[in-house]
């Protein structure tokens, strides 16, 4: 999270809503990725069955996480890798700092790792005087701009070619052009030097295969391979839940993940690292360190309402279908993880639940995220449950608590409820009037309290002279009309 | 066939004609429609905002009013969705109530699902020579599984020109309290929905949910749009009523 | 934190003691239907795996030449190199190319093989030096997969990582018998053997759409990949 960002969701969203390029870029990106996912998942023929398999495999893995993580550890160590376990972000940073110190690190080359952003690793390394370079093209752009990524898969969608050209020109002190080929070519040349000079290469981990102790990375650019081939030391940071039992389970994920993320049948590179190089090998790291991170994840285990959020394979499909993300992009969430998955995961792993709990309200609960998720995480239900917890913890506004307490009391009896509703209708009828056709607004009472939120963008509905309860007095005894149509009544079901 | 009407608080106060149209259509096909007057609200606004106790009070009252019904029909996908998707959760800690409420849940239908799947009616004898587009309400679609039923009813209307709404399945931005709590984001969402509706050059927008329609209509009116909204039941009834 | 404390915490949060065996499960990997036909609903059944591989590989931006003999493969390789005019070429150990009849490569072309023969440290430095500016890297493959057009490269002392990664163009020599319907068979083989220090699944030239969603080919990995595939072998 950048230091310039405002502290509330509403304020951050406001900035985003006024950024036309950002909104265009987000829509363009999410439309493209969404369309590609539809196409490539449809091509498999029975996507719902794939989703169910994905869900079962992930549920099983998380339910047996201690076992599989234990197996992974044993096998990675047998292959010569070093395993480290970090209870929280602080410990994760300490572990990396120690490794970096022991190698007199000057240059630290990173390929995409969201978890390293979660623990604010770069800042710590830079404070130690270590040059940290993000080698993933989108992450490098975001790093040069001193920002955070705005999308899980395409980190710099909020930047246009001219902005990228400017960033690259400042970095390389050479003239470039706002053309993709030129900019990508610059990145290729510059990054080569980094790959060759880096003392440590860091990658993330898409899946850790328990049966062999292997870390699997899905990538397209080649930088993940670079940082796991050239530097003498490799560090892999992973969330503790990113485990798969076997290689054959990887084939399942190798279909679900790329198709859901970008619509590709498979990413250009799927690379497995099983410890450091062996005797006689001419390249590859001398040392491999795997840092396994908890940072709040174990708190979610054993909680039937939320445990399934740990099934996430970080594909970004939920972002691409979320109508809220579509309007405001990733930075509005203020968290490393944006979109629906971010709105659920962030409050769960955060220390400050009061502040982050508001993310669960950044949703109209439309359910598109659940339908899009390749492992069927019920994010829409989790958002409602998080809201319940937020209220139970006493974090919701007092006025809202009072309003809903009143609602609960009124809803018990139609006498009370209808009086209240009729009264509100009376006010609207006699004190606001029918403003439903007005193109300007809000005025007067329309701008009062919560109604203002509505009226800023919408006319109020026409106030009715009678409620349905009133209409029923005559409707009750109205005779039935004859049915029309060719079908009429096909099947009476015992009427 | 005895049907109890679950009119919903929104329809009761703002769109009573949708309720009346529902009643009249059901009666045509042999339903003896009653209206439990003690009904208030299904509790969804409270539940979705995290106020489970308030929601449970509403749900208890709802159960009280509909416990003895044979069939419960509602002109709202989202309220029916609330009942089907979350009522069991509300009473998970009370096995006796859970069983009773479950039985009631199973008898609850959204209007178009009831017409097509229970009454077996797709063609009500309606004629409507106008350009019409349809917005599939999210909760009805994703919580209840409403897919083809509204389209089947619409397609059977004579002389109707049905135009597909671009990005139809994208949320209109209502989300109940979301529309006032995060009103600017909601405003951006409904603006995009309105733009798509205007692209179709339709004269009428139809849906199964007055929440969505109220939200979209509010934005359309502000934009000075000529598009009119109608609940599916209203369209079917008025386009087929004896003149 | 210590490993045991970390794992014990997980078990306790899951409401039980740490387990030595996982719970049983029925769903493992992909479905039987997919194993029988990993080409999707609408795919034409008539084409061979090699032809399917070629079509998909070219969709991914790669180039695939189907030849009918080792001699023809050798000719095609010569032809591709004439086209590219590389200043230097790096290859895996010669023994990997044993039956390909391409000894001319190391005598007539500026090609160097790399594997640990004498002083591994010196060879490591040399590989780094040469590979970084190499125009072409030539390898074989252990498996290929037709449905995703994937090459599977295993790492060992004769087969290093750099040759398929650092040069501008990667050329892979593949036999038809190595082409499976999907990556499934290669994954099952990993399951049964000692896992190499790294395994690389490569499905075309490197790419990115990070700049304004504009697809560009050739980012950090090779900008071009050429597969010479010998049918009938």
Give residue-wise pLDDT tens across range C40-72: 876 777 789 999 999 999 999 999 999 999 999
- The answer on B158 and B231 residing in a single domain is yes
- The answer on B153 and B94 residing in a single domain is no
In a domain, B233, yes or no: yes
> CB atoms < 10 A from the CB of C75, how many?
13
- Chain C residues whose CB is inside 8 A of the A247 CB are 187-188, 190-191
In a domain, B126, yes or no: no
Closest residue to A44, CB basis, from C40, C195, C204: C40
Which of B75, B96, B118 is at the close of a domain? Answer: B118
A14 Cβ under 8 Å from any chain B Cβ: yes
- The answer on B195 and B94 residing in a single domain is no
In a domain, B46, yes or no: yes
In a domain, B49, yes or no: yes
The pLDDT-based confidence of A494 (bands split at 50, 70, 90) is: very low
Give residue-wise pLDDT tens across range B81-123: 999 999 999 999 999 999 999 999 999 999 999 999 999 999 9
A 51-110 → B contacts, CB under 8 A: none
- The answer on B73 and B31 residing in a single domain is yes
Closest residue to A272, CB basis, from C27, C165, C199: C199
The secondary structure element, H or E, covering residue B77 is helix B77-90
In a domain, B125, yes or no: no
The secondary structure element, H or E, covering residue B231 is strand B228-231
- The answer on B139 and B108 residing in a single domain is no
In a domain, B86, yes or no: yes
The pLDDT, as a whole number, for residue C155 is 97
Q: In angstroms, rounded to a whole number, what is the distance separating the alpha carbons of residues A412 and A415?
A: 9
Which of B118, B144, B173 is at the close of a domain? Answer: B118
Say if the Cβ atoms of B15 and A367 lie within 8 Å.
no
Give the distance from residue A433's alpha carbon to the nearest chain C alpha carbon, in angstroms. 48
A 389-408 → B contacts, CB under 8 A: 389-392, 396, 400-401, 404-405, 407-408
Give the distance from residue A13's alpha carbon to the nearest chain B alpha carbon, in angstroms. 7
- The answer on B206 and B108 residing in a single domain is no
Compute the residue count for chain C: 233
- The answer on B69 and B157 residing in a single domain is no
What pTM did the predictor assign?
0.94
The secondary structure element, H or E, covering residue B154 is helix B149-155
Q: Which residues contact C79 (CB under 8 A, 6 or more apart)?
A: none
A417 Cβ under 8 Å from any chain B Cβ: yes
Q: Which residues contact A53 (CB under 8 A, 6 or more apart)?
A: A252, C27, C30, C31
The pLDDT-based confidence of B242 (bands split at 50, 70, 90) is: low
Q: In angstroms, rounded to a whole number, what is the distance separating the alpha carbons of residues B61 and B59?
A: 5
Provide the phi-psi class of C173: left if phi over 0, else alpha when psi is between -120 and 50, else beta: beta
Q: Which residues contact C145 (CB under 8 A, 6 or more apart)?
A: C53, C152, C179, C180, C181, C182, C183, C186
Say if the Cβ atoms of C41 and A43 lie within 8 Å.
yes
- The answer on B145 and B60 residing in a single domain is no
Task: Check: CB of residue A13 under 8 Å from CB of residue B185.
Answer: yes
**Domain with B192 in it: what CATH number?**
3.40.50
- The answer on B110 and B6 residing in a single domain is yes
Give the distance from residue C110's alpha carbon to the nearest chain A alpha carbon, in angstroms. 20
- Count Cβ atoms within 10 A of the Cβ of residue B6 and give its class: 0-12 exposed, 13-18 middle, 19 or more buried: buried
Q: In angstroms, rounded to a whole number, what is the distance separating the alpha carbons of residues A204 and A274?
A: 14
The pLDDT-based confidence of A2 (bands split at 50, 70, 90) is: very low
- Count Cβ atoms within 10 A of the Cβ of residue A452 and give its class: 0-12 exposed, 13-18 middle, 19 or more buried: middle
In which domain, by residue range, is B167 found?
131-238
Give the distance from residue C114's alpha carbon to the nearest chain A alpha carbon, in angstroms. 8
| A402 alpha carbon, distance to own chain's centre | 33
- The answer on B165 and B72 residing in a single domain is no
Q: Which two tokens stand for residue A489?
A: 């009544």
Q: Looking at the 3D structure of chain B, how many domains does it have?
A: 2
pLDDT of A488 above 80: no
Q: Which two tokens stand for residue A403?
A: 């309003």
Q: Which residues contact C37 (CB under 8 A, 6 or more apart)?
A: C43, C181
In a domain, B168, yes or no: yes
Q: What does residue C134 show for φ and ψ, rounded to 5 degrees?
A: -70, 140
pLDDT of A490 above 50: no
Q: Chains near A, with 3+ CB pairs < 8 A? A: B, C
Say if the Cβ atoms of A485 and B214 lie within 8 Å.
no
Beta-strand relationship, B2-5 and C207-208? unpaired
The secondary structure element, H or E, covering residue A300 is helix A297-300
Weakest mean pLDDT among A140-154, A294-308, A349-363, B57-71: A140-154
DSSP structure class, residue B15: -
Average pLDDT in the C198-205 region? 98
Say if the Cβ atoms of C1 and A156 lie within 8 Å.
no
Q: In angstroms, rounded to a whole number, what is the distance separating the alpha carbons of residues A108 and A196?
A: 11
The secondary structure element, H or E, covering residue A64 is none
Closest residue to B49, CB basis, from A387, A461, A482: A387
Chains A and C make contact, 3+ CB pairs within 8 Å: yes
Give residue-wise pLDDT tens across range A388-400: 999 999 999 998 9
The pLDDT-based confidence of A495 (bands split at 50, 70, 90) is: very low
In a domain, B34, yes or no: yes
Which of B52, B87, B118 is at the close of a domain? Answer: B118
pLDDT of A492 above 80: no
- Chain C residues whose CB is inside 8 A of the A160 CB are 212
Q: Pick the residue of C18, C35, C208, C217 with the most A CBs within 10 A to test the interface with A by mutation.
A: C208
User: ipTM, 2 decimals?
Assistant: 0.97
Q: What percent of chain A has pLDDT over 90?
A: 78
Q: In angstroms, rounded to a whole number, what is the distance separating the alpha carbons of residues A22 and A33?
A: 16
A 116-145 → B contacts, CB under 8 A: none
A 146-205 → C contacts, CB under 8 A: 154-157, 159-161, 164, 180-181, 183-184, 187-188, 191-192, 195-196
Q: Which two tokens stand for residue A94?
A: 């300490």
Give the distance from residue C134's alpha carbon to the nearest chain A alpha carbon, in angstroms. 13
Say if the Cβ atoms of B156 and A366 lie within 8 Å.
no
Task: Check: CB of residue B75 under 8 Å from CB of residue B111.
Answer: yes
Beta-strand relationship, C207-208 and C216-217? antiparallel
Give residue-wise pLDDT tens across range A195-242: 999 999 999 999 999 999 999 999 999 999 999 999 999 999 999 999
The secondary structure element, H or E, covering residue C180 is strand C179-180
Q: What does residue A443 show for φ and ψ, rounded to 5 degrees?
A: -125, 150
- The answer on B44 and B105 residing in a single domain is yes
- The answer on B140 and B220 residing in a single domain is yes
Say if the Cβ atoms of A69 and C216 lie within 8 Å.
no
Closest CA to A238 of A95, A370, A56: A95
A-B contacts at Cβ under 8 angstroms: 287
Chains B and C make contact, 3+ CB pairs within 8 Å: no
């Amino acid at each position: 999270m950048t230091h310039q960002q405002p502290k509330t969701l509403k304020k951050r969203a406001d900035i985003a809503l006024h950024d036309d390029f950002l909104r265009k870029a987000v829509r363009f990106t999410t439309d493209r990725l969404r369309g590609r996912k539809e196409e490539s998942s449809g091509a498999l023929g029975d996507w719902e069955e794939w989703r169910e398999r994905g869900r079962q495999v992930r549920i099983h893995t998380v339910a047996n996480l201690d076992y599989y993580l234990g197996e992974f550890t044993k096998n990675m160590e047998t292959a010569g890798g070093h395993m480290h376990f970090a209870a929280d972000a602080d410990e994760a940073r300490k572990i990396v700092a120690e490794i970096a110190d022991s190698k007199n690190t000057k240059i630290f080359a990173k390929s995409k790792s969201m978890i390293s952003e979660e623990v604010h690793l770069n800042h710590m390394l830079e404070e130690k005087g270590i040059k940290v370079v993000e080698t993933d093209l989108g992450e490098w752009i975001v790093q040069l701009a001193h920002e955070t990524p705005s999308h899980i898969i395409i980190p710099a969608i909020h930047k246009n070619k001219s902005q990228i050209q400017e960033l690259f020109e400042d970095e390389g002190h050479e003239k470039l052009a706002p053309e993709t080929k030129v900019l990508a070519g610059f990145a290729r040349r510059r990054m080569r030097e980094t790959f060759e000079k880096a003392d440590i290469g860091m990658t993330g981990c898409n899946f850790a295969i328990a049966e062999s102790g292997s870390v699997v990375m899905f990538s397209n650019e080649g930088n993940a391979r670079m940082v796991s081939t050239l530097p003498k030391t490799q560090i892999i940071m992973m969330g503790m839940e990113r485990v798969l039992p076997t290689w054959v389970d990887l084939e399942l994920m190798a279909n679900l993940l790329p198709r859901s993320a970008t619509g590709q049948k498979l990413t250009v590179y799927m690379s497995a690292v099983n410890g450091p190089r062996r005797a006689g090998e001419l390249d590859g790291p001398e040392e491999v360190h795997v840092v396994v991170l908890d940072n709040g994840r174990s708190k979610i285990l054993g909680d039937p309402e939320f445990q399934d959020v740990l099934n996430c394979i970080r594909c970004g499909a939920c972002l691409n279908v979320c109508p809220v993300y579509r309007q405001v992009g990733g930075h509005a969430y203020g968290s490393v993880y944006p979109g629906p998955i971010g709105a659920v995961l962030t409050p769960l792993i955060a220390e400050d639940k009061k502040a982050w709990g508001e993310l669960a309200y950044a949703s109209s609960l439309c359910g598109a995220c659940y339908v899009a998720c390749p492992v069927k995480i019920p994010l829409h239900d989790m958002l409602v449950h998080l809201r319940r917890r937020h209220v139970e913890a006493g974090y919701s506004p007092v006025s809202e608590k009072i309003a809903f307490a009143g609602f609960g009391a009124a809803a018990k009896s139609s006498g009370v409820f209808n009086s209240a509703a009729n009264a509100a209708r009376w006010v609207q009828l006699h004190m606001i009037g029918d403003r439903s056709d007005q193109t300007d607004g809000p005025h007067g009472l329309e701008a009062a309290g919560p109604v203002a939120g509505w009226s800023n963008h919408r006319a109020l509905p026409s106030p009715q002279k009678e409620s349905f309860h009133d209409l029923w007095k005559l409707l009750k005894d109205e005779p039935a009309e004859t049915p029309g149509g060719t079908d009429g009544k096909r099947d009476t079901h015992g009427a | 066939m005895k049907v109890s009407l679950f009119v919903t608080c929104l329809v009761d106060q703002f769109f009573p004609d949708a309720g009346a149209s529902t009643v009249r259509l059901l009666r045509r096909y042999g339903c003896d429609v009653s209206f439990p007057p003690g009904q208030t609200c299904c509790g969804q606004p409270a539940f979705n905002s995290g106020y489970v106790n308030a929601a449970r009070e509403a749900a208890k009252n709802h159960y009280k009013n509909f416990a003895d019904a044979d069939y419960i029909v509602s002109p709202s996908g989202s309220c029916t969705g609330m009942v089907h998707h979350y009522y069991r959760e509300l009473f998970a800690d009370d096995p006796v109530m859970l069983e009773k409420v479950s039985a009631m849940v199973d008898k609850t239908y959204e209007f178009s699902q009831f017409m097509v799947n229970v009454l077996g009616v797709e063609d009500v004898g309606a004629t409507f020579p106008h350009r019409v587009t349809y917005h599939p309400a999210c909760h009805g679609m994703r919580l209840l599984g409403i897919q083809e039923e509204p389209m089947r009813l619409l397609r059977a209307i004579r002389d109707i020109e049905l135009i597909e709404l671009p990005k139809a399945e994208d949320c209109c931005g209502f989300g109940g309290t979301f529309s006032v709590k995060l009103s600017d984001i909601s405003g951006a969402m409904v603006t995009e929905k309105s733009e798509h509706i205007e692209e179709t050059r339709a004269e009428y927008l139809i849906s199964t949910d007055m929440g969505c329609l109220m939200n979209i209509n509010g934005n359309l009116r502000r934009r000075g749009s000529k598009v009119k909204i109608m609940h599916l039941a209203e369209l079917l009834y008025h386009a087929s009523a004896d003149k | 934190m210590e490993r045991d404390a970390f794992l014990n915490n997980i078990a306790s949060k899951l409401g039980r003691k740490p387990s030595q065996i996982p719970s049983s499960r029925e769903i493992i990997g992909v479905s039987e239907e997919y194993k029988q036909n990993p080409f999707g609903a609408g795919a034409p059944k008539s084409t061979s795996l090699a032809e399917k591989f070629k079509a998909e590989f070219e969709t991914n931006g790669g180039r695939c030449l189907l030849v009918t003999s080792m001699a023809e493969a050798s000719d095609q390789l010569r032809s591709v190199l004439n086209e590219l005019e590389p200043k230097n070429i790096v290859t895996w150990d010669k023994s990997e190319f044993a039956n390909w009849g391409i000894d001319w490569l190391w005598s007539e072309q500026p090609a160097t093989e790399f594997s640990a023969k004498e002083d591994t440290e010196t060879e490591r430095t040399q590989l780094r030096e040469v590979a970084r500016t190499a125009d072409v890297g030539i390898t074989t493959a252990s498996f290929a997969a037709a449905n995703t057009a994937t090459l599977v490269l295993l790492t060992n002392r004769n087969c290093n990582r750099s040759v398929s990664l650092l040069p501008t163009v990667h050329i892979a020599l593949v036999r038809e018998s190595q082409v499976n319907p999907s990556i499934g068979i290669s994954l099952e083989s990993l399951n049964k053997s000692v896992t190499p220090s790294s395994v690389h699944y490569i499905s075309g030239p490197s790419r990115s759409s990070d700049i304004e969603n504009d697809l560009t080919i050739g980012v950090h990995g090779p900008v071009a990949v050429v597969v010479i595939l010998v049918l009938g072998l």
